[in-house]
Structure 1
Amino acid sequence: MKRLLLCLTLLLTACGPLVPAQGSALEPAQDLGTLPAAALKYQHLLLRSAQANWGLDAPVALLAAQVHQESRWRPDAESPVGAQGLAQFMPATAAWMAELYAEPLGANQPQDPAWALQALVLYDRWLYLRIEAASTCQQLAMTLAAYNGGLTWVRRDQALAAGAGADPGTWFGSVEAYTQRSESARRENRAYVQQIVRRWQPLYQSWGPAACEGKF
């Protein structure tokens, strides 16, 4: 139990997977409009996991875009800080997920594509259910921000927005403008959400439902 509480504390504060900067060795440049060959290879795995855990209206296009942003669909991807696999889980996050979802996930295997995709879907769902927002679009945007930077930071940002008279339930144009994170962490976190929703998601719209359509 103590181990579980420790991992949960880490997860809520700083265990969210970190995304390397664009152009790093982990994330080579990708032409807009081109899907990595591996994306098609793992499409069925993602679709099956998404619908099993989110239902038939699962935001498949958004989830696929998130995998694209995290690893470019490379199961062997590893960031300079130690994040691994398709979902780029940090070791503590992967261990916590394997313990929390022992039955569906089984042994901790972040570099196994099936494990990583199901874990990403489950983690996103876990975060989504703990975020209050004005709409599904805004809730999913905050879910992405929490995946990248931690749920505690999203809640702090919401509180800052509310304190400034802004809408704490709206990410775009509201909560995203408020934070006490370092400048580098702020830039990375806000770019993470924008890249997934606006840049990569359109590439995967044929896979299934998208999020925030018509919002930009």
Structure 2
Amino acid sequence: MTRAVLAWLLGKLPPLIVCIVMAVAAQHAHAIDLCDQYRATLTREAQAVHGLAAPVPMFISQLRRESSCRAGVTAWDNGRGLAQFMDGTSLHVVRLYPELGAPDPYSPKWAIRALVRYDGWLRERVQGVNECERWAAALKGYNAGLGYVQRAQRLSPTPGQWFGVTEDINAGQSQQNFEYSRRYPRLVLFTEQPRYATWGTTLCLENQR
């Protein structure tokens, strides 16, 4: 239906009905979440890699933060697809996990499979006194690079404590990049994750900082 036809139809309705129609349409548009379409694929892949207690809400929250779950998006820095993989990261991930095949960041299935594996690879290389702190450090590694996290943890008085301690250590980033990457785990875990709490095992929400 063209806008002209829609306008003509609305013009034939009483003003009160027009208001109701527009309000319902606005509510419907607001209710649409592009991430919902990936729930089954993400749950299946996350559980295949991380077990039945996989933090699916965290993974989908990360995709929402990266791309708003838009599979075809390219960022100003050439981050690509759902997971906003840079070209170098895509190549690194397929070297780690040859079963992924050639890099295909604009494919939702490839991006999801790559994200859950790469996040797990990062998690194995950082410290954490519990799963909340460890995944938070891994998320920083995803956004900023693993090296910055490992250096910060080496400088930290309590390297396994991410929030309130190690997250505040700048291990060589520019101030602007440091501030965003410090906030990144908080944005994923505390801003985005609550909306997907019914998707599976959540992290950190029981003692939100």
Please report the TM-score for the alignment, with normalisation by the length of structure 1: 0.79
1:36·1:73 contact (CA, 8 Å) conserved in 2?
no
Name the counterpart of 1:214: 206
The amino acid across from 1:101 in the alignment is Y
Greater fraction helix: 2
The equivalences for 1:93-172 within 5 A come to 93-103=89-99, 105-162=100-157, 167-172=158-163
Greater relative CO (CA pairs within 8 A, separation 6+): 1
- The yes-or-no answer on 1:58 pairing with 2:54 is yes
- The yes-or-no answer on 1:78 pairing with 2:74 is yes
Deviation at 1:95, TM superposition (A): 1.4
2-structure distance, mates of 1:39, 1:57: 20
- The match for 1:174 among 156, 159, 165 is 165
- Considering only CA atoms, is the larger Rg found in Structure 1 or Structure 2? 2
Name the counterpart of 1:29: none
**Matched pairs, number:** 178
The amino acid across from 1:64 in the alignment is I
Ranges in structure 1 where 5+ consecutive residues have no aligned partner: 1-33
User: What whole-Å deviation, never above 9, does each CA across 1:23-74 have from its counterpart, x for those lacking one?
Assistant: xxxxxxxxxxx67532111111110110000000000111111011000000
User: What whole-Å deviation, never above 9, does each CA across 1:94-123 have from its counterpart, x for those lacking one?
Assistant: 1121232112x1221110000001100000
2:127·2:137 contact (CA, 8 Å) conserved in 1?
no
The amino acid across from 1:174 in the alignment is V
2-structure distance, mates of 1:134, 1:205: 23
Name the counterpart of 1:5: none
Ranges in structure 2 where 5+ consecutive residues have no aligned partner: 1-29
How much is the aligned-residue C-alpha RMSD, in angstroms? 1.2
- Structure 1 runs of 4+ off > 4 angstroms? none
The amino acid across from 1:137 in the alignment is C
Task: State the secondary structure of the residue aligned to 1:134.
Answer: coil
Please report the TM-score for the alignment, with normalisation by the length of structure 2: 0.82
1-structure distance, mates of 2:105, 2:37: 17
Deviation at 1:141, TM superposition (A): 0.3
Task: State the secondary structure of the residue aligned to 1:130.
Answer: coil
The amino acid across from 1:80 in the alignment is W
The amino acid across from 2:167 in the alignment is E
1-structure distance, mates of 2:122, 2:197: 23
User: What whole-Å deviation, never above 9, does each CA across 1:145-197 have from its counterpart, x for those lacking one?
Assistant: 000011110011112223xxxx1111101101111321101111012111111
1:35·1:203 contact (CA, 8 Å) conserved in 2?
no
1:134·1:170 contact (CA, 8 Å) conserved in 2?
yes
2-structure distance, mates of 1:211, 1:110: 26
User: What whole-Å deviation, never above 9, does each CA across 1:190-215 have from its counterpart, x for those lacking one?
Assistant: 12111111100001001111001222
